[in-house]
Amino acid sequence: MSEVITIRQVVTAWGRDTESGSRAAVTRLRYRARGNDWGHPGAQKPALRLAHPALSGAQLAVAGICIRLIAVHKSDEVYLVVPESVAALIREIRETERADWVPDGVRDAFEAALPLLRRASIEVRDRRSLRHLHRLVAGSQPDSSFQSLETAAAQIHASMAKGTVRPVPVSVTDPGWTCDWGYSRKYQGAAIGLTRTSGDGSTVGVPLVTAVPTPPDLTDGELAAVLLTNAYASAMGEDCLVVYSDSRDTASHLRSFIASGRPATHGALLPRLAAPFSDEQLLAIDVRWIYRHSTPSHRDADVAARHMSRGEPVPEESVVELEWLLRRIS
């Protein structure tokens, strides 16, 4: 049984009252967690810096937290690192389920964030611990560097509408296939490993591996891995409805490959693997992004591809010859 992957969102906020209103700075950092291991954080975007003429500093900070949570998946774990004034306001919201002071322009963001606020973990910090945020709202900072709540929310909504929010990695929950592409510059080899995968992420049967062309003859190895897995499943008379890949963008690359007429831009192997299948059949493949080595099945696929790409010994029963497979599906 593989350890469950969770996403932990750490949001820090600081608000400050001024003579002309309030200022707040809010940051969000995303961690991948496996079990109790927080892993490594992703890239942190610039701090959200807000100003409002009527709200208090604590109110503005809470509103900023809600805006930061717009793009957060509802299943994510949220950790808030805030001063006591902000923590007290969030506790009040939890008790009353209300915040009449929230401006109408960001009421939808507050309503959407309320479930996350209810169950978020709160860590209270003092000014010294949050001095990096305190500097961002200091009086020496120009007014032009701050946004309104409405502008900040609109920018995040626009970003989501354009699809710029990154996909979310998943845990294995359904049986299917797992694949991975390996390339060795040193040994000038490339290979694709694939495994049948149970609903808990374990390998079913023997891991399989196929030698494939190296760059520049094949440059999108992860997409080739999905197409080869689909081809092998078809050759064996099996369905290939769910494929787990450790590449975040493979699902979108598959859609683009089909929409553009299946060009050989990323190597001639892709059109050959796709040729026997209709666009509808290929679009029906549910490509799901998992983190590398997050399941035994992915580790098996990765090891098989790596060994063959380096010319290392691979069990004979694991080898699938590429030309045999192409003939079988033609």
Q: Are residues 320 and 201 in the same domain?
A: yes
Of 161, 185, 207, the position where a domain reaches its end is: 161
Distance (Å, rounded) from C-alpha 300 to C-alpha 318? 11
Domain presence at residue 200: yes
Q: Are residues 203 and 260 in the same domain?
A: yes
Place of tokens 């010859």: 321
Question: 237: buried, middle or exposed (CB in 10 Å: 19+, 13-18, 0-12)?
Answer: exposed
Q: Are residues 127 and 229 in the same domain?
A: no
Looking up residue 263, the CATH number of its domain turns out to be: 3.30.420.10
Distance (Å, rounded) from C-alpha 28 to C-alpha 63? 14
Please state the separation of Cα 205 from the chain's center in Å. 29
Contact 29, 10 (CB under 8 A): yes
Place of tokens 């030309």: 323
Contact 2, 294 (CB under 8 A): yes
Looking up residue 100, the CATH number of its domain turns out to be: 3.30.420
Distance (Å, rounded) from C-alpha 239 to C-alpha 174? 13
pTM: 0.58
Both tokens of residue 278? 């209709």
| The residue type at 74 | K
Of 104, 128, 161, the position where a domain reaches its end is: 161
Q: Are residues 157 and 201 in the same domain?
A: no
Q: Are residues 196 and 271 in the same domain?
A: yes
Query: Which H, E and C letters describe 114-177, residue by residue?
Result: HHHHHHCEEEECCCCCCHHHHHHHCCCCCHHHCECHHHHHHHHHHHHHCCCCCCCCCCCCCCEE
**Each residue's pLDDT expressed in tens, for the chain with a length of 330 residues:** 345 677 889 999 999 998 888 999 999 988 877 777 776 666 566 789 999 999 999 999 999 999 999 988 888 899 999 999 999 999 999 999 889 999 999 999 999 999 999 999 999 999 888 988 988 998 888 888 899 999 999 988 887 776 555 566 788 889 999 999 999 989 999 999 999 999 999 999 999 999 999 988 998 999 999 999 999 999 999 888 899 998 888 998 899 899 889 998 888 999 999 999 999 999 999 999 988 888 999 999 999 999 999 999 999 999 999 999 999 998
**Number of domains, the chain:** 2
If one counts every other C-beta atom within 10 angstroms of the C-beta of residue 241, the result is: 14
Q: Are residues 102 and 145 in the same domain?
A: yes
Residues 6+ apart with CB under 8 A from 260: none
Domain presence at residue 121: yes
Distance (Å, rounded) from C-alpha 150 to C-alpha 104? 9
Overall residue count recorded for the chain in this entry: 330
Residue-number span of the structural domain to which 297 is assigned: 176-329
